[in-house]
Every structure is written in C-alpha cells, then in structure tokens.
C-alpha cells in the first residue's frame, strides 16, 4: 500500500503518541488528498476533532494512523506539520505503510482469561520465562487465538509506555497453560463496537522455543474439539 493509493474519504484513526501521554488520544477523521505542494509523503486530513485540539500539540507531534481497505487493515506513523484550513491538518508520513491482518495462521474465536505483563526487549528471547511478581498491566478475555498470535478486544486502554513486548499468560485447559513472549503489532479502536472499544493484536515469539508453538497448535485443536468449549 502507498499513500497515494488511499482513496479520498477514507476513514482514518489517528492516535497521538508520546511518552508523556498515559493514554493515547484517538481521533476519527477523514483522508482528504495528497498535499503535493509540501512533499510527496504528506497528505491533508479533514480533522474536526484534531483541529479543535490542534494548539495542544507541537509541530512534529508523532502520530499513528490506522485505516482499512477491503479486507485489510493498515497502519503507519506520521507527524503533524501544519494546518491549512480550519478543518484541515497536514500530516507527513514518517514510516512505511504496514498491512496488519494478512494472517499467516488461521485464528479461532477462543475466549480464555489472559494476563499481560510488561517484558523488556533484552528478555524476549530467554528460553524460559516466569510469572513476574508485579501485578499484570491488563487482565482480559481473548477474542481469538492462533499459533501465531492473539487478539484482545476490550474497553480497557493498555498503557502504551509498556509497548511493544509483553508476557502473555493464558490456559486452554488445565494442562495447557502458556506463558509466551509476544509483540504488540496492532493497537487501534477498530474494535467490534459491541465487544469493546480497543483492539490489540499480539504476535507470539517462539525464537528460542519452537516446541511451544507445536504445543499451542495442538492445544488450540483440542480446545476446538472439546464439547465444553
């Protein structure tokens, strides 16, 4: 996906990012057009709500932009570079546009209790992980699970200061208990409105323990076949 291929009128979700912000401010706005007068990587967004809060942010304020097209969900980073009309904000693209939902693994709608713990990058590839003594940063139900990852849809905001690595604890049965390192690869409010406000997608990391991937695959199959599911 390229910036110039986004259709005018596309609904975009803009999240204002920053370490000082405990909860990302999220705006639902509209892609209007490319802004070729500035450069080839900038565009104009019709931003009623962001325009209202415009003076709260400095130029170069970092943004995350999410939008959908067909069956795909896309995300990229950007920054505010100006305002040209009362309802129009100019945003510069600062990262490539990444497709998020072309899944390598089929996900199954499996609901189990999940606990999330922050994980430092230098501990991601440890061969063994233990449950931290600190309280989890989130306790929720999974929305779907695959051998590759998990989605959580919730009304609770996950503090972005912990991103992107987490320990994910969940059990598919009494014996199938998992504590897996994962990377947060999707953070949006494209969530199913009747289920929750926020949608978080996690990719499991099996770099040092491929046996866990096989064990998870079998556990998911057993869960699907269980009459108690």
Length of the chain: 229
What is the mean pLDDT of the segment spanning 47-55? 83
Q: Average pLDDT over the chain, rounded to whole? A: 81
pLDDT on residue 116: 96
**Least confident window among 100-109, 118-127, 180-189:** 100-109
**Least confident window among 126-135, 162-171, 176-185:** 126-135
Which residue is it, tokens 């996690």?
Answer: 202
**3-class secondary-structure state, position 181:** strand
What is the mean pLDDT of the segment spanning 84-111? 74
Residue 158, beta-bridge partner list: none
Q: How many CA atoms lie within 13 A of 24 on its CB side?
A: 26
3.40.50.10110, 2.60.210.10, 4.10.520.10, 2.40.10.220: CATH of 113-225: 2.40.10.220
What b/e string do you get for 58-84 counting C-beta neighbours within 10 Å, with b at 16 or more? eeebebbbbbbeeeebbbbbbbbbebe
Q: Where in the chain is the domain with CATH 2.40.10.220?
A: 113-225
pLDDT on residue 119: 93
Nearest to 66 by CA among 198, 189, 195, 159: 189
What is the CATH code of the structural domain delimited by 3-99?
2.30.110.70
**pTM score, whole prediction:** 0.54
Looking at the predicted structure, is the pLDDT value of residue 19 above 50? no
Contact 170, 215 (CB under 8 A): no
Looking at the predicted structure, is the pLDDT value of residue 146 above 90? no
Write the CB contacts of 225 (distance below 8 Å, at least 6 apart in sequence): none
Write the CB contacts of 73 (distance below 8 Å, at least 6 apart in sequence): 66, 67, 99, 100, 101, 186, 188, 190
Q: Where in the chain is the domain with CATH 2.30.110.70?
A: 3-99
- Whole-Å CA distances, 145 to 57, 102, 111, 127, 149: 37, 15, 8, 22, 6
Q: Where residue 150 falls among pLDDT bands split at 50, 70, 90? A: very high
**Least confident window among 64-73, 195-204, 211-220:** 64-73
Is the bond leading into 46 cis (omega within 30 degrees of zero)? no
pLDDT on residue 71: 55
Contact 81, 42 (CB under 8 A): yes
């Amino acid at each position: 996906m390229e910036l110039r291929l986004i259709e005018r009128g596309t609904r975009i979700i803009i999240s204002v990012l920053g370490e000082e912000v405990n909860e990302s401010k999220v705006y639902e706005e509209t892609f209007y057009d490319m802004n070729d007068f500035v450069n080839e990587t900038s565009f104009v967004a019709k931003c009623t709500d962001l325009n209202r809060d415009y003076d709260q942010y400095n130029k170069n304020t970092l943004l995350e932009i999410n939008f959908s097209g067909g069956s795909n969900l896309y995300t990229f980073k950007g920054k505010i570079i100006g305002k040209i009309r009362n309802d129009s904000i100019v945003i510069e693209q600062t990262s490539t546009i990444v497709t998020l939902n072309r899944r390598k693994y089929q996900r199954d709608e499996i609901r189990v209790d999940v606990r999330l713990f922050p994980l430092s990058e230098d501990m991601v590839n440890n061969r063994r992980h233990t449950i931290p003594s600190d309280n989890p940063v989130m306790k929720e139900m999974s929305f779907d699970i695959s051998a590759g990852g998990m989605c959580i849809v919730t009304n609770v905001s996950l503090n972005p200061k912990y991103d992107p690595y987490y320990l994910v604890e969940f059990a598919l049965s009494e014996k199938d208990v998992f504590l897996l390192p994962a990377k947060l690869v999707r953070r949006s409010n494209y969530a199913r409105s009747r289920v929750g406000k926020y949608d978080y997608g996690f990719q499991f990391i099996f770099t040092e323990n491929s046996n866990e991937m096989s064990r998870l695959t079998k556990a998911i199959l057993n869960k699907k076949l269980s009459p108690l599911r």
